[in-house]
Structure 1
Amino acid sequence: MLAGDAMDGVTDLWRAVQERRFEVAEAGARDRLLADPGESDAWFMLAICLRARSAIPEAEACFRRAMALQPDRADIYVNLAHLLKSAGRTQEAIDHYREALSRAPAALPLRVALCEALIDARRCDEALSAAGAETTVDPAELWQMRGNAHFVAGRPQQAEAAYARALQVQPQHPAVLYNSALACERCGRRDLAIARLRQLVGLAPETLNAQIKLGDLLKEEGHHEEAEQAYRSALNLRATVPEVQNNLGALLSRTGRWREAVGCYLQARAQGLANPVLFLNLGNAYHALRQLDEALAAYREGLDRYPDDIALLTEAIHVQQKLCDWRGMDRLRERLLEPALRWQGAGSPPSPFVFTALPVDATPAEQQVIARRYADWIGAAVPAPLPPRGERRAGRLRIGYVSADYHNHATAHLMLGLFSRHDRARVEVIGFSYGHDDGSHYRRRIVEDCDAFHDLSALSDREAALAIRACDIDIVVDLKGYTGSARPAIFAWRPAPIQVQWLGYPGTLGAPWFDYIIADRVVIPDEALADYSEQVVWMPGSYQVNDSEQPMAASPTRAECGLPEGAFVFCCFNSPYKIDARIFAIWMDLLRQTPGSVLWLYAGNPTAIANLRREAEAQGVSGSRLVFAPPLPKAEHLARHVHADLFLDTLYYNAHTTGSDALWAGVPVITVPGATFAARVGASLAHALGMPELITPDLDSYRALALQFAHEPARLQAMRDRVQTLRSRCSLFDTASFARALDAAYGEMWLRHERGELPSLLDVAALAGLAA
């Protein structure tokens, strides 16, 4: 009876342990040990109770007392090993797992625990040995351990093979499904990773990590609606996961839902997330909403915490430019340019576009360094380009134009007349859009003028590349580069045999997947060829195409434009970010030396207007002499140029579309060419117009020429008459001849490709039948 009572007492205490009534079990174990200090079960039970309340040294001592009393009990070794592992004493834990396994070699949980400890210690090959020789009847847990060992060792293909074997044994194993998805992603098999995660969340929708990972992968693959659903499911499981709020915000940003994105970013910030990416995302969302003051505040909040984050600093300075806030701009080389040149991969890289407009004397070579690093960052997310396409179908060259700007946008304004003028005996024209359809006549006309038109906006970058490949495109042309809403990763997949960048981005993309850049001898002269990763194509006139049939509305009155009667009107309709302190000082001097004159500018952000007026006052010019023109439809915008006497170009980033608009409207544009592509477009337009006299060698000459025009009405009128005369016969506005030259360029690119030649400098004017 006494022995039976003792046994019943032990059983009751073990039941208390299993029910997690540790205080009861601990008290009972201590009572038993007072009666019999040699009772191994009581020491073992006490050790478990002590471990439950984190009394680690005491628990270890009790396990060792139990082990000394019963050295052949595997369960004591296992529990001590668990304790040591949780305490970070991995090697001791491994030794005790091995001891336990030697006493119970058939115990699967022991073998799995040993493998896990070895994997945690990054001793992956030892873990594979501990898992034992592979057999067809191995349980799923051992295949899982082999997969985990391979994955941690950086062998994702072998890991996925092991996980696949585990799933053959146990198809609905949650941990294996999740780990298999991670391995598939690492192997570049996102489709299979997504399938595994879909299966897992279908079986166990409460699996938070699976919902989050599924959202991440679906977002990357362009499945926006399903990705949003996964993120929202994760937030329903746990509302305070700031990383998920940030990721959901990034998804909403990608689909243009900027206001909702801001809400997510603010939630993430309120929940304690404070990394540079969050502040960059928040600032970018405000930026896209044109809430520039809020954008700048977000970037600066990030910089207060992460003062060396180059991406945050780059965007903050660009917004400052848009606000015409020039404080600190005199130190841009040391503050931004030099750190950008030194950037080595910590965090997000700086946007190369900002460096095309930065009011600092950056060289094309320096811009190339920044662009190459950005391209490397983009390319790192592309496991491998698409395999080379099969045999080409016979027939005309297929040219694919890819852009987000097939709507009421400067790119569409320039290109509107081009698509219909390609020689259909030589080429087919395929349009690819990933931007919005605004229903404008620009969109309708471009769609009508293409032989086929495809919307890529709902596709991931890889899917978009596959869609381009499916159209059997011979030469694909990226019209965006690194400008806003660009998707450069599409081209990193190499959807076409020849890849060209043109028109949208004034500089090199630094990307090995682009073969050519369409330019001219002015924007990229001989001495700058080495500063471009692409091979240069020199067009006979300007690289810039223009629509030779642009209509103009009826002219408004001066009063309707807010301009005083009789005043000389200096004009610059460039975006405010192109204006810098240096050129503005010259403009103020022109106003001081030309009584009654005004400066007619494009109306940007209200803060920019206030800053420009304040700066004018600081330089002794009444802020009322700055007149701001609101946005108008293109035909009305062109018509109001009738009241502009002289267009003053900006310095570091010239007038591009705005420059050709002014010339089309008959307004002379004076310019000073700089070193970079963006700073030489004004000179390119003047050359193509046939008026090199509008190009000045330096700022002093620029000022002098502007004053001559302002003070010599007859000379100005003669110049305006000359612009009007040349407009109808110059290459700048001859869309048909531009299309012929472009067709010739495409033909020569393809001939070289067919001959197996590498891309090389192409002077289109030297091709038969084309004049310079």
Structure 2
Amino acid sequence: MGDMQGALDELQAAAGVLGHRNPKVWEIYVKIGDLLKAAGDYTQALRAYDAALDVSPNQVSAFTQRGILNQEFDAYEKAEKDFESAVQLDPTNPQAWSGLGIAWMYLEHALPDGKPKGYDSYDEGSIFALRRVMSLQPKDMVTLSNLVMAENRVCDWSYKKEHEKAMKQALRERASRKENFAPPFHAFEFGYSPKELLVNSKYLSKRISESVQHRRKLVPPNPAAANLTSSHKLRIGYVNGAGFRNSTTTARCLQSMFKHHSKTVEIFCYALSSDDGSRERSSIQTSCDGGWVEGSRLTDDELAAQVSKDEIHILVDTTGYTMKQRTEIFALSRAPIVLSFHGFPGTMAAKFVHYLSSDRLTSPPEYQSYYTEKLALVPYSYLINDHKQSRQEVTSTTEQITRTELGFNEDDIILASFNQLYKIEPKIFKVWMRIMREVPSTKLWLLNFSKAASKYLRKEAAAAGVAKDRLVFHSKFPKDIELLAKSHADLFLDTPLFNAHTTGGDVLWAAIPMLSLPGENFAQRVASGLIRSVRMINMSLVRDLDDYAEVVIRMCRRRRVLHDLKQQLRQERQRLPLFATNLLTSHVEISMKMMWEVHASGTKPRHVVVADSS
């Protein structure tokens, strides 16, 4: 740090000597910005790049670096302008094209009605920009991973096989150097095996551990670690990177849990992002009887020290390797037990994470080698909801939305998949097209997460001999009518690559039967736990893709079967384990108490399995 400060002082002195209007001073400002950015002072770095462009407004490096910082501040429109300026000045600059591609990926969601000049959508612009980078730097595997994500979001499968092959090779090369390659959450869509996912996450966690090793010694000891009694009130600390905001499914899960927690636990919450003013976040904060910590302005070290001060027995990571992650907090923490819960659907592969919350179908015994954590298994789904309390609109006998209003005929068989479109693979889409060819009265109902996706999927459908108009796309529905609208679907088709998670609970509450093909990794088996929790395993879990097609075709040709399944869900949903919030919360609590009892006995973490008490 001293060397950096010295270099910074020298550069600032040189800038002072030259004077702000000297045409050569822009280079010094860029170097100052680079040093400040490396030191994590993004605000001052941004000002330095502003100064450089004020002096010399045609500098590619200044535009590019300022664009990168604007992305750090989530100012993607500003970043877009910076990167566009950079590529106009230098059309062969890969860093500028890469930044532009990433900015457009985010703007597709931030500005759903917008599009960049010359393209039909931000997603298509992003694909063009990232392919441009690959033409300039064919071995840039980081850009390739971003390109694959962009292509998956619009279901552009033109290069899917060769890209997945390259992604697997890139992972092997990085692993040979004991390095992480792909962001673990996105790795689920890259076709990696469970062992490859484990290796990828392991080297990320190793790097995190090593980066904080010298700082962990400075974190105060946690008195709870020495308290080996199992009879006292457990102090549970929930950490959420998104700050328990309404936009996250984890926040809605925790809101449900906290309303039903027993008096034998004390809840602490550590919000790592600012307040969004939502009722959900406010409800969670009210439920925290132990304490609430606004952590967005605290360093990882300060938060780890706060956890020790709060004497937390079990620190719960509800974010994992997803957006807004601050995994270093858990590597620094002196909490006796760290539990991964709900946020990341798979192994963290980290020595500092002791348990993973799951259920018996999502993580069966034969797949335990795919996890470094000990498993805390509940008898029904580990995903908790409060639909019975908060989503009663679907139980109304008055129909508020008709099939016709949604664009369907009364005699259509509506096959729906409301999952994110990146979860659709060519092989499952091929199965869906086979079903639709054999049952002409079917229509496929998808959500329009990307404006460009409908074009690509309809093109794939036409190539498979299915009329384009049999694919129906809708934008996301407002929450107050979402489940009412979706309840018109006759059957939900799950995606094997990455199952429906929260969406699965939603459609089952809306009385839509669900069909799923379980895979091997966590994200590919969550629907199995949901289906078991509505007691439909025999009807809804299939063995392979051929079985998937044949079961759906058989159901569609015997419409009475679909009708009876929907009626069964309508009649039973108030009594099904999946929607028994008290029951599911108690199972999670019991698993936590079992973890603590293992710790209190002086033994290392081991698998805990909660018996069915319903």
Regarding TM over 0.5, the answer is: yes
Counterpart in 2 of 1:363? 193
Other-structure match for 2:21 = none
Q: Which one of 506, 515, 520 corresponds to residue 354 of structure 2?
A: 515
Deviations along 1:565-614, whole A, 9 cap, x unmatched?
22111111111111111111221222222223211111121210111111
Please say which of residues 332-341 and 393-402 is displaced more in the overlay: 393-402
Match of 1:449 in 2: 287
Superposition pairs for residues 33-112 of structure 1, below 5 Å? none
Please list, as runs of the form range in 1=range in 2, the aligned pairs for 1:114-193 lying within 5 A after superposition.
180-182=2-4
Aligned counterpart, 1:550: 390
Aligned twin of 1:432: 270
CA-to-aligned-CA distance 1:374-409 (integer Å, 9 cap, x gap): 333444543534235335268641322323152133
Q: Does 1:601 align with 2:450?
A: no
Structure 1: gaps of 5 or more residues: 1-178, 183-192
**Cα deviation, residue 552, structure 1:** 4.5
Tell me whether 1:351 sits opposite 2:192 in the alignment.
no
Q: 1:719 maps to which residue? A: 565
**Any conservation in 1 of the 2:245–2:278 contact (CA below 8 Å)?**
no
Q: Is the alpha carbon distance of 1:552 and 1:558 closer, same or farther for their aligned partners in structure 2, counting shifts above 3 Å?
A: farther
Paired amino acid for 2:488: H
Pair 1:659 & 2:504 matched: yes
Residues 335-390 of structure 1: per-residue CA shift (max 9 Å, x gap): 222321222569983222222123x4x32111111122233344454353423533
Q: 1:211–1:328: structure 2 CA closer, same or farther, 3 Å change rule?
A: closer
The count of corresponding residues between Structure 1 and Structure 2 is: 572
Give the partner amino acid of 2:385: N
CA distance in 1, matches of 2:97, 2:302: 29
Task: Give the corresponding residue for 2:369.
Answer: 530
Task: Within 5 Å, give how 1:723-742 maps onto structure 2.
Answer: 723-742=569-588
Deviation (angstroms), 1:764: 2.6
Is structure 2 residue 124 aligned with structure 1 residue 286? no
479-488 or 624-633, which moves further after superposition?
A: 479-488
Letter of the 1:285 counterpart: A
Secondary structure of the structure 2 residue equivalent to 1:672 = coil
Match of 1:481 among 310, 315, 320: 320
Kindly tell me: are residues 495 and 204 of structure 1, through their superposed partners in 2, closer, same or farther at Cα, counting changes over 3 Å? farther
* 1:747–1:623 distance in 2 versus 1, CA, 3 Å: same
Q: SS of the counterpart of 2:518?
A: coil
Change (3 A) 1:333 1:201: closer
Match of 1:700 in 2: 546
CA distance in 2, matches of 1:306, 1:468: 45
- 2:613 aligned residue: 771
Question: For residues 81-138 of structure 1, what are the alpha-carbon distances to aligned partners after superposition, in whole Å with 9 as ceiling and x for unaligned?
Answer: xxxxxxxxxxxxxxxxxxxxxxxxxxxxxxxxxxxxxxxxxxxxxxxxxxxxxxxxxx
Q: Measure how far apart 1:324 and its partner are.
A: 0.7
Measured after TM superposition, the shift of residue 524 of structure 1 is 1.5
Name the CA shift for 1:456/1:560 in 2 (closer, same or farther; >3 Å). Answer: farther
Q: Residue type of the partner of 2:479? A: K
* One-letter amino acid matched to 2:564: A
Match of 2:79 in 1: 261
Aligned mates of 1:726, 1:600 — CA distance in 2: 25
Q: Distance in 1 between matches of 2:584 and 2:422?
A: 30
The answer to whether the 8 A contact 1:594-1:711 is kept is: yes
Bigger mean CA offset, 453-462 vs 348-357: 453-462
Equivalent residue for 1:400? 238
Q: What CA RMSD, in Å, does the superposition of the two structures yield over aligned residues?
A: 3.1
CA contact (8 A) 1:397 1:426 kept: no
Query: Cα distance, 1:673 vs. partner?
Result: 0.7
Q: 1:443: Cα distance to partner?
A: 2.6
Structure 2 SS opposite 1:416: helix
For residue 306 of structure 1, the aligned residue among 116, 137, 141 is 137
Change in Cα spacing, 1:569 to 1:750, as seen in structure 2 (3 Å) is same
Listed one character per residue, the Cα deviations across residues 399-423 of structure 1 (whole Å, up to 9, x for unaligned) are: 2232315213333343331122112
* Contact 2:87-2:93 at 8 Å conserved across structures: no
Query: Which structure would you say has the larger RCO, counting Cα contacts within 8 Å and 6 or more residues apart?
Result: 2
- Matched residue SS, 1:343: helix
SS where residue 743 of structure 1 aligns? helix
Match of 1:640 in 2: 485
Closer, same or farther: CA 271–379 of 1 in aligned 2, 3 Å = farther
Change beyond 3 A, Cα 1:403–1:731: farther
Q: State which drifts further: 524-533 or 206-215.
A: 206-215
Following superposition, the deviation at residue 675 of structure 1 comes to: 1.4
1:663 deviation in Å?
0.4
Query: What is the SS of the residue equivalent to 1:398?
Result: strand
Q: Is the 8 A contact 1:311 1:348 kept in 2?
A: no
CA distance in 2, matches of 1:527, 1:443: 38
Q: Is the 8 A contact 2:347 2:371 kept in 1?
A: yes
User: What CA deviation, in whole Å up to 9, does each residue of 1:1-32 have, x standing for no partner?
Assistant: xxxxxxxxxxxxxxxxxxxxxxxxxxxxxxxx
Q: Tell me which of 252, 273, 285 is aligned to 2:70.
A: 252
Q: Is 1:502 equivalent to 2:348 in the alignment? A: no
TM-score, normalization: structure 2? Answer: 0.84
Partners of 1:385 and 1:294 in 2: how far apart? 43
Partner of residue 33, structure 2: 212
Distance in 1, Cα, partners of 2:365 & 2:251? 30
Structure 1 residue aligned with 2:396? none
The structure with more radius of gyration:
1
Secondary structure, counterpart of 1:259 in structure 2: helix
Check 1:433–1:289 CA distance in 2 against 1; reply closer, same or farther (3 A cut).
Answer: farther
Q: 1:399 to 1:456 in 2, by over 3 A?
A: closer
Using the alignment, how far apart are the partners of 1:298 and 1:380 within structure 2? 35
Asked if 2 retains the 8 angstrom alpha-carbon contact of 1:567 and 1:598, the reply is yes
Cα deviations by residue, 1:536-577 (Å, 9 ceiling, x for unpaired): 211221121122423254631222222222211111111111
Unmatched 5+ stretches in structure 2 = 17-27, 109-121, 228-232, 394-398
SS of the residue aligned with 1:384?
Answer: helix
Residue aligned with 2:240, SS: strand
Which position in structure 2 is the counterpart of 1:107?
none
Shift of 1:682: 1.5
Distance between the aligned counterparts of 1:275 and 1:352, measured in 2? 28
In 1, Cα distance between equivalents of 2:613 and 2:213: 44
Helix, strand or coil: the match of 1:601?
Answer: strand
Cα distance in 1 for residues equivalent to 2:162 and 2:276: 41
Is this contact kept in 1: 2:239–2:272, CA < 8 A? no
Partner of 1:104: none
CA shift for structure 1 position 462: 4.2
CA distance in 1, matches of 2:203, 2:91: 27
Aligned amino acid, residue 144 of structure 2 = L
Aligned partners of 2:238 and 2:268 also within 8 Å: yes
The structure-2 alpha-carbon separation of the partners of 1:762 and 1:284, relative to structure 1 and needing over 3 Å to count, comes to farther
Distance in 1 separating the partners of 2:411 and 2:600: 62
Letter in 2 for 1:416: Q
